Structure 1
Amino acid sequence: MDGQTHLHITSWVLALILLGLTVWFDRLGKPKIGKVFHMILRLDYLLILYSGGSLIAVYFANAGGAMLGEAIIKSLAGLWVIFAVEMIAVRAKKRVSAKSAWIQFFIAIIIALVLGFGRLPMGILPLN
C-alpha cells in the first residue's frame, strides 16, 4: 500500500466524519455549524477525486484486462458514494427524508469497499 492509497483512505474517512457532523448539527437545529461542515465536506470531495484519480491513473498505466475493468467499476461506485453523501447532506439540511440516499450510499460503499480492499491489487487485502 503506497502513499496514494493512504491519502485516498484518509480523505474518505474524513468525508464520513464530516457527513456525520453535518447531519448531526442539522438535526440539532444548528444550521450554520452544519453548513460549515458541509462546505468542508465539499472541499474534501476534491481531495477524494484527486487521490482516486491518481489511483485509477496507475491502473490505466500498469493494469490490463479484468483489473482495469474492476478499477473503472470501483471508480464509478466511488463517484456514486460521493453523490449519495451529497444527497444525504442536502436532504438533512432541508429536513427531508433521506432514506433512498442512505440506501444508495450503503450499496455504493459496499461495492467500492469490496473492490477497493478485496479485489484490486492496490488495496489492503487483495483476494488474488
Structure 2
Amino acid sequence: MDSNGTRPELPLLVDGSCSAGPLSGGMPAEEAVELARVLKALADPARLRLLSLVADSPTAAACACDLTEPLGLSQPTVSHHLKVLVEAGFLDGEKRGVWTWYSLVPDAVERAVAALPGLGRLARA
C-alpha cells in the first residue's frame, strides 16, 4: 500500500499473460524450515512468559523449580517448554545438582528477528 492507504495499480503485461516471469530469490527452503521452528518456539504464551521470567531474574538465571508457580503449570509441562526453548537456541540449561538453571542465550531473540528479511517487504506491500 502507498502512503494514502491504497494499493498501487499493477502494470498490464504486453503479451496479456498473467505472469511477470519466473520468480527467484526469496528465502531458501532450508532457512524457512529452521526459521519456522524457531518462531514456533516463540509462538506460545507459556514460552514467552518463561523467557521474560528468566530475563527479569536478578541473577540472569532461573531454576526450573522456580518457574512452575508463576506460570501455574505442572513441572513436567514447564520442563517441556524449557526444552523447546533450549532446542530453539533461546535458553541455555546448566545442571546444578538435581536442578537445571536456565539463562538467556545472548542476542537469540534479536537473531531470530534479523532472520526475517521478507517481513519489511510484506509490510510495505
Task: Report the TM-score range of the alignment, normalised by the length of the smaller protein.
Answer: 0.3 to 0.5
Alignment TM-score, normalising by the size of structure 1: 0.34
Greater percentage in helix: 1
Alignment TM-score, normalising by the size of structure 2: 0.34
Higher alpha-carbon Rg:
2
